[in-house]
Amino acid sequence: SLEPVLLGDPREIGSKAHALKKPLDGIRLVDPAADETSQPLADAYQIQRPETSRAIAVRLARKPLFHAGLMLKTGTADAMVAGVTCLTARVIEVAMMTIGLQPGIRVPSSFFLMIMPGTQHCLIFADCAVNIDPGIDDLAAIGVASAHSCARLLQEEPRTAFLSFSTHGSAQHELATRIRKAAELAQSLCPQFKFDGELQADAALVPRVAALKLKALGDVAGRANVLVFPDLASANIGYKLVQHLGGAIALGPFLQGFAAPVSDLSRGATVQEIIDTAVMTAAAAVK
């Protein structure tokens, strides 16, 4: 069963809950500043970073963001949602310092879950929020992490397309070659899933177009459920066009690539967005 945990001063949380007439039944309150919770986590931090002094380890363990990351590291929590009171860069930095990345993943990244209008069909768009200009290795890592996110959250076989303005050499340019090499690297790093690229968006999504543009379709072209964009500019523009012109619901961004589920919220997140993110992050923690 899931047990929500709130980090902060229990008296302050209780006072706000009382003022809002919201019960806290079933929610565990943890005070990061309390010795009984911070001291064991400071121990854990020093074990993984022995060069850190005891005073610094304790000070970090008493900060809510570090405290949450160390709870994941020590297995006393399964997932973490943060960001309403801090920058995305800070959430990622703390997650790197406490939880670390999954084996074989070299960079953290993010994805949006796009729910197509009028259907239950979902697509994963990556990386829409973190890596500005990823190189070949970074793109491959984004593709592998996104495939794992798809398998875990959608319970579908990931079919990951690396997008470009070219389809399998239809345009000769170093930017298209970079995408093709990233797709090949992702396939070698993660042979249990299917990757293809470089593919134009229509060739990735539309079976008829894929059949026209490719000599051999394979498992991805025309059937992709994960789209890896070449850079942050195209990814951010792409998801917003699909959301605002296409009417899709965009959930996210969700962080990925960490050794445990971590999600970052916008500082302007609504209550519903916080709930949606918490539910998705909890689902990612289910073994």
156 has a pLDDT exceeding 80: yes
Residues near 49 by beta carbon (within 8 Å), at least 6 away in sequence: 57, 97
What letter represents residue 277's amino acid? T
Give tens-digit pLDDT for 42-70. Answer: 999 999 999 999 999 999 999 999 999 99
Residue 254: other Cβ atoms inside 10 A: 25
CA 53 → CA 16, 43, 145, 201, 225, distances in Å?
36, 11, 34, 51, 47
Give the model's pLDDT for residue 124: 97
1 has a pLDDT exceeding 80: no
Q: Predicted confidence band at 215 (pLDDT cuts at 50, 70, 90)? A: confident
Q: Strand 122-126 and strand 109-115: pairing?
A: antiparallel
**CA–CA dist 154, 152 (Å, integer):** 6
